Structure 1
Amino acid sequence: MDKPLQIVITGANGFVAKNLRKYLSEKNIHLISISRKNFKSFKNETKIVSKNYDQKSLLPKIKKSDALIHLIGIGKQSVNTDYESINFQLTRKIVSLSKKAKIKKFVYASGLGVSSDTCVGYFISKYKSEKSIINSKIDYTIFRPSYIVGKDDLFTKYLKKSIKKDEIIIPGSGKYSIQPISINDVTKIIFQSIVDKKFKNKIIDLVGPEIISFEKYIQLFLQKKKIKLCYVDIEKAYNLAITDSKFDYGVDDLNILVGNFVGDHEKLRNLSKINFQSVKELLKTGALL
């Protein structure tokens, strides 16, 4: 009988991680899940709470695991948390830990829009992380995700909160494009990247089959609810993002939206061979409300 897979997941409390852990647990895979804060564990799961991801304490617990899925990252900076320390330096630390632990596979969630030409702080931190993974010589799969949507994703939570206030803020025209992908498809693909050699040493856009405007996404989400859409001039939106920490959008949220980033879904479909869920159809059902 083959030895069951053992997979390490960092950032276990996050939206993607929670869904992925549930999916893998149901497949009877042994999970070693790590988070800075306490969390509820699934079956077949070893829970580790580690505030600073200390290598000395973690190393013996994760040694010779089949894969590590690194899902820690921030999308908004403050004086207490910055891209360099969280998105890059911590990733580099986890890469080093993985090498010392002789982990066979490293899976990383980067960002759609990351490239060597970028001048955006968020993308720069993700690009540097990608390079540290590639240079480590570990077998890797790097995903560059668009909006990953499901019942409890951050954007869905924002929209539900805005509905209660009877107003949703849309920066600029709202005509810029997004390419959302269902969390159910994401969990399948991440698992596939570990067990299928076709994903070895690849950088892949993690995007859905449909390109949709930000404005249209919100309209479909609302299910004909009479909620006020408040369009904020893009210059004013940037000013608020820079000066008001309570504004609904951060500077890099706006950079990503205005950047109009779309990815190569055909490459993903050809690799995975799965039938992708239509996010438009998902929105029409009202399942996210």
Structure 2
Amino acid sequence: MEIRIAITGASGFVGTNLRAFLNDERIHFTSITRRKTRRLKFEKNIVSDLGQKDLPGRLRGCAALVHLIGIGAQTKDADYQSVNVDLTKKAVSLCKKSGIKKIIYVSGLGVGNNTTFGYFLSKLKAEEEIKKSGLDYTILRASYVIGRDDPLTKNLRKQARSGSILIPGDGAYRLQPILVQDVAKVILACVTNKKLSKKTVDLVGPQTVSFARFARRFARNENVKIRKVSLQRAYFTALNRPDDAAFGLDDLNIMVGDFTGNHKRLERLCGFRLNSTGLLPL
């Protein structure tokens, strides 16, 4: 396919899988990372924090920019405003200076005008920056993206190795995970399919599962116990003893939010069916 795609945050979980997918599809792409990565055959790698003056010139000819930079937890060195919002502003500016007409942004499932907590508010502000930019865009509001070494799976496997898996509250709140391989296909469709122009779409898989059921998949070994704690206790630990917490404050906010979306609309716009996450090997 005679297009070139630019990717920010290309060394993260989604970015790494997207790079592999585009390379397999023989699509040329430029990855922007904070440190040099092993270059794939159809890849050009640029080490940048999005602030270099020569960066726009090096991206000329790209049809779209996939903006994957973001954080789901704040630290003293990286907060939601500086990363999720300010770097999105830089990505928008980069598109305009380099002549890139389309931006694809991975936001969060549950983001909306009624949102109240920091992570979602930062994602909402980033979405608004993109919508008012004048660029073509697709905003993908993602549920949990799963695959080999995804953050949620790594967390649950780590807990399983310790002998127990924690379920905050009753665990009845739902997830609608999507396979990372499908995410890569969706992102490419956002570049090539005009049906996804200026759309905000739920990035969700075809299966809805309770957190308790999902977590139990990692406790098949009889020596791994399921341990339920009250939401009050889970939040108390996350707030007061974060180093001991199985889930951070915003992890809990997202999990217990019980956010689900419309996978049929996603399939209809993309023109292909999504895979069942039940096929994912543990």
- The alignment's TM-score, normalised by the length of structure 1, stands at 0.93
Distance of 2:219 and 2:144 partners within structure 1: 17
Structure 2's unaligned 5+ residue stretches are none
* Aligned residue number for residue 17 of structure 2: 19
Distance of 1:190 and 1:222 partners within structure 2: 33
Distance of 1:42 and 1:243 partners within structure 2: 44
* Aligned residue number for residue 42 of structure 1: 40
* Aligned residue number for residue 167 of structure 1: 164
* Aligned residue number for residue 58 of structure 1: 55
Equivalent runs, 1:124-143 vs 2, <5 Å: 124-143=121-140
Aligned to 1:231, the other structure's residue is in SS state strand
Amino acid in structure 2 at the alignment position of 1:26: D
Q: What whole-Å deviation, never above 9, does each CA across 1:207-265 have from its counterpart, x for those lacking one?
A: 01111100101123444554111212111111111122322211111111111111111
Aligned to 1:39, the other structure's residue is in SS state coil
* Aligned residue number for residue 116 of structure 1: 113
Which aligned segments of 4 or more residues in structure 1 are displaced greater than 6 angstroms?
Answer: none
Distance of 1:119 and 1:275 partners within structure 2: 33
* Aligned: 1:188 with 2:207: no
Identity percentage of aligned residues? 44
Amino acid in structure 2 at the alignment position of 1:184: Q
Q: Post-superposition shift, 1:55?
A: 4.0
* Aligned residue number for residue 105 of structure 1: 102
Aligned to 2:26, the other structure's residue is in SS state coil
Aligned to 2:53, the other structure's residue is in SS state helix
Amino acid in structure 1 at the alignment position of 2:257: G
Q: Post-superposition shift, 1:70?
A: 0.3
Match of 2:255 among 254, 257, 264: 257
Q: What whole-Å deviation, never above 9, does each CA across 1:157-177 have from its counterpart, x for those lacking one?
A: 112222221111111111101
Match of 1:83 among 76, 80, 83: 80
Distance of 2:32 and 2:70 partners within structure 1: 14
* Aligned residue number for residue 272 of structure 1: 270
8 Å CA contact 2:59–2:98 kept in 1: the answer is yes
Match of 2:229 among 197, 221, 232: 232
Amino acid in structure 1 at the alignment position of 2:36: N
Matched residue count: 281
8 Å CA contact 1:105–1:139 kept in 2: the answer is yes
Distance of 2:219 and 2:274 partners within structure 1: 23
Distance of 1:222 and 1:66 partners within structure 2: 45
Amino acid in structure 1 at the alignment position of 2:172: K
8 Å CA contact 2:219–2:225 kept in 1: the answer is no
Q: Post-superposition shift, 1:275?
A: 2.2
Amino acid in structure 1 at the alignment position of 2:272: I
Q: What whole-Å deviation, never above 9, does each CA across 1:102-132 have from its counterpart, x for those lacking one?
A: 1021000000000011111000000000010
Aligned to 2:108, the other structure's residue is in SS state coil
* Aligned residue number for residue 197 of structure 1: 194
Q: Post-superposition shift, 1:92?
A: 0.7
8 Å CA contact 1:9–1:33 kept in 2: the answer is yes
Structure 1's unaligned 5+ residue stretches are none
Amino acid in structure 1 at the alignment position of 2:279: L
Distance of 1:40 and 1:223 partners within structure 2: 36
Q: What whole-Å deviation, never above 9, does each CA across 1:149-194 have from its counterpart, x for those lacking one?
A: 1011011111222222111111111110110111111111110110
Amino acid in structure 1 at the alignment position of 2:224: I
Amino acid in structure 1 at the alignment position of 2:248: G
Aligned to 1:229, the other structure's residue is in SS state strand
* Aligned: 1:242 with 2:239: yes
8 Å CA contact 1:55–1:97 kept in 2: the answer is no
